[in-house]
């Protein structure tokens, strides 16, 4: 089965300089880079799978496992660091027993530490399902996490739908 991203790109003149944008498009559609998609890219661009993993794993953006329903990111930029970003990260690691890049066993929340989101004047910031929350403190963050756990799939189902929509269309 060919992914829509491929069929679209097949029509374009593709060379290896399209590798990064192609990976980005796949991840946007599927949420992660699957083994199958790597095989397809390899065929399309006539490069080895090994090379693709080499490039993809170099960049922090790409993930190789299915993401959780909710996405939790903590900014660890300098401004966030001096305003207590590390405390937030530590709190999450403790509460959810997760390290950066991991997903809870039930697949509800995945967690990522990012370098800087450029909202430094609002430090410390966290991003929950794409929404940036400013001036975060450990106790407010815990409440947010509880909310995420409470409403396991209200927001995320809609989000999953929107992710899947282009595939089914």
Partner 1 sequence: MTDDLFAQFRAIQRRASEMWAALQNGLQPLIYLGTASCGCAAGALDTLCAIQETLQELSRPAHILQVGCIGPCYLEPLMDVQLPGLPRISYPKVNPEKAKRILRAALMEGDLSPKLAVGHFGDENFTRQSGIPRFFDLPMLKPQVRVILRNCGLIDPREIDHYLAHEGYVGFIRALQKGPLGVIEEVKRSGLRGRGGAGFPTYKKWEICRAASGDRKYVICNADEGDPGAFMNRSLLEGDPHAVLEGMLIAGFAVGAQQGFVYVRAEYPLAVARLRHAIQQMRQYGFLGENIFGTGFRFDIEVKEGAGAFVCGEETALIASLEGERGMPRPRPPYPAERGYCGQPTLINNTETFGILPNILRKGGEWFSQLGSPGNTGTKTFSLVGKARYTGLIEVPLGMTLRQIVFDIGGGTVRPFKAVQTGGPLGGCLSAAHLDTPVDYENMRASGSIMGSGGLIVLDESTCIVDLARYFLTFSREESCGKCTPCRIGTRILVETLEKIARGEGEREDLDVLYKVADTMQRTALCGGGQTAPNPVLSTLKYFMNEYLTHIQGRYCPASVCTALFEYRILAEKCTGCGRCIRVCPNGAVRGEKKEPHSLNVELCVKCRACVEACKFDAIVGVPTGSRQPQEVTL
Which residues of this chain interact with partner 1, rule CB under 8 A?
15-21, 23-24, 54-55, 58-62, 76-84, 86-87, 90-91, 94, 114-123, 125, 132-134, 137-139, 142
Q: Which helix (H) or strand (E) holds 154?
A: helix 154-168
Q: Which is nearer to partner 1, 21 or 166 (CB)?
A: 21
Rank residues 81 and 108 by Cβ distance to partner 1 and give the closer one. 81
Q: What's the closest the beta carbon of residue 66 comes to partner 1, in angstroms?
A: 19
Q: How far is the CB of 110 from partner 1 (least distance, A)?
A: 16
Nearest approach, Cβ of residue 3 and partner 1 (Å) = 19
Closest CB 47 distance from partner 1, rounded Å? 9
| Phi and psi, residue 108, nearest 5° | -85, -40
* Residues forming a β-bridge with 135: none
What is the 3-state secondary structure of 35-88? Answer: HHHHHHHHHHHCCCHHHHHHHHCCCCCCCCCCCCCEEEEEECCHHHHHCCHHHH
The sign one gets for the Cα dihedral 38, 42, 48, 51 is negative
Decide whether 18 or 149 has the Cβ nearer to partner 1.
18
Beta bridge partners of 72: 111, 128
Q: From the CB of 74, what's the least distance to partner 1, in Å?
A: 13
Q: Which is nearer to partner 1, 53 or 108 (CB)?
A: 53
Q: Which lies closer to partner 1 via its Cβ, residue 1 or residue 121?
A: 121
**Pair 123, 133: CB distance under 8 Å:** no
């Amino acid at each position: 089965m060919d992914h829509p991203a491929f069929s679209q790109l097949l029509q374009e003149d593709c060379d290896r300089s399209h590798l990064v944008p192609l990976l980005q498009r796949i991840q946007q559609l599927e949420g992660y880079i699957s083994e199958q998609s790597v095989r397809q890219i390899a065929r399309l661009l006539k490069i080895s799978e090994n090379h693709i993993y080499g490039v993809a794993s170099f960049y922090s953006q790409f993930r190789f496992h299915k993401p959780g329903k909710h996405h939790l990111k903590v900014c660890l930029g300098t401004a966030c660091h001096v305003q207590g970003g590390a405390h937030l990260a530590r709190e999450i690691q403790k509460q959810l027993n997760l390290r950066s890049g991991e997903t809870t066993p039930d697949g509800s929340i995945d967690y990522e530490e990012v370098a800087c989101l450029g909202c430094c004047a609002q430090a410390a910031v966290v991003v929950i399902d794409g929404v940036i929350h400013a001036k975060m403190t450990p106790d407010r963050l815990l409440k947010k996490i509880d909310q995420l756990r409470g409403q396991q799939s209200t927001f995320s189902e809609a989000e999953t739908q929107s992710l899947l929509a282009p595939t089914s269309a």
